[in-house]
């Protein structure tokens, strides 16, 4: 089993945030991440493959998404950006491939976070994404939401995140 690092966590947060808030909360279910591929040459990219279920009657498309993980003083630790639109077919369960670019603004901040999991309680998430379901399109924005509240909103227990850190 692979050990999760900060980039894995940022990718999972991105996927959860981008798909939440568009439909009824139980329409989208995340059943896990089956693969994470890193390409470090040129522009660093991450491709996340997640087992996702869409029980709604509409295709769900996420595009133009970018989320940042920041410290309380406003210092950005890193961000995740979708590199191309992602579509989850209606009434299906599938392995969804999510191509992203992950950047760590300050490598020392990232390492300090890994060394002190208690710091997670003080972090916050900001960002936005365009989500389309059927003929409706919505811009989802998050501004300085505490990471713990963000995780709870998308159905993840903050203590689980702390356990994933080394």
Give me the domains of the chain, ranges plus CATH numbers.
6-153 (2.60.40)
Q: State the average pLDDT for the chain.
A: 76
Give the SS3 label for residue 44. coil
pLDDT for 133 beyond 60 = yes
Model pTM score? 0.65
CA distance 100 to 43: 11
Alpha-carbon distances of 131 from 23, 30, 52, 63, 108, rounded to whole Å: 10, 17, 16, 7, 33
Which residues, listed in sequence order, are joined to residue 76 by a DSSP beta bridge? 70
pLDDT confidence bin for 159, thresholds 50/70/90:
confident
CA distance 55 to 142: 25
pLDDT confidence bin for 89, thresholds 50/70/90:
very high
Average pLDDT over residues 3-7: 58
Average pLDDT over residues 117-146: 84
Q: Which of these, 162, 128, 135, lies nearest to 147 by C-alpha position?
A: 162
pLDDT of residue 6: 62
Share of the chain above pLDDT 90, in %: 6
Give the SS3 label for residue 123. coil
pLDDT in tens, 45-61: 878 787 888 888 888 88
Helix (H), strand (E) at residue 13: helix 6-19
pLDDT confidence bin for 80, thresholds 50/70/90:
confident
């Amino acid at each position: 089993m692979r050990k999760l690092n900060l980039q894995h966590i940022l990718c999972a947060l991105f996927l959860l945030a981008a798909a939440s808030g568009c439909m009824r909360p139980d329409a989208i279910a995340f059943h896990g991440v089956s693969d994470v591929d890193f390409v470090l040459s040129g522009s660093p990219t991450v491709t996340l493959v997640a087992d996702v279920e869409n029980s709604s009657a509409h295709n769900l498309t996420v595009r133009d998404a970018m989320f940042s993980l920041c410290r309380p003083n406003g210092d950005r630790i890193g961000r995740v950006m979708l590199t191309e639109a992602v579509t989850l077919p209606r009434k299906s369960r599938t392995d969804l491939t999510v191509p992203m670019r992950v950047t760590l603004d300050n490598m020392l901040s990232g390492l300090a976070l890994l060394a002190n999991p208690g710091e997670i309680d003080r972090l916050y998430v900001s960002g936005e994404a365009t989500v389309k379901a059927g003929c409706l399109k919505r811009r989802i924005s998050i501004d300085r939401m505490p990471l713990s509240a963000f995780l709870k909103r998308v159905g993840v227990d903050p203590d689980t995140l702390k356990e994933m850190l080394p």
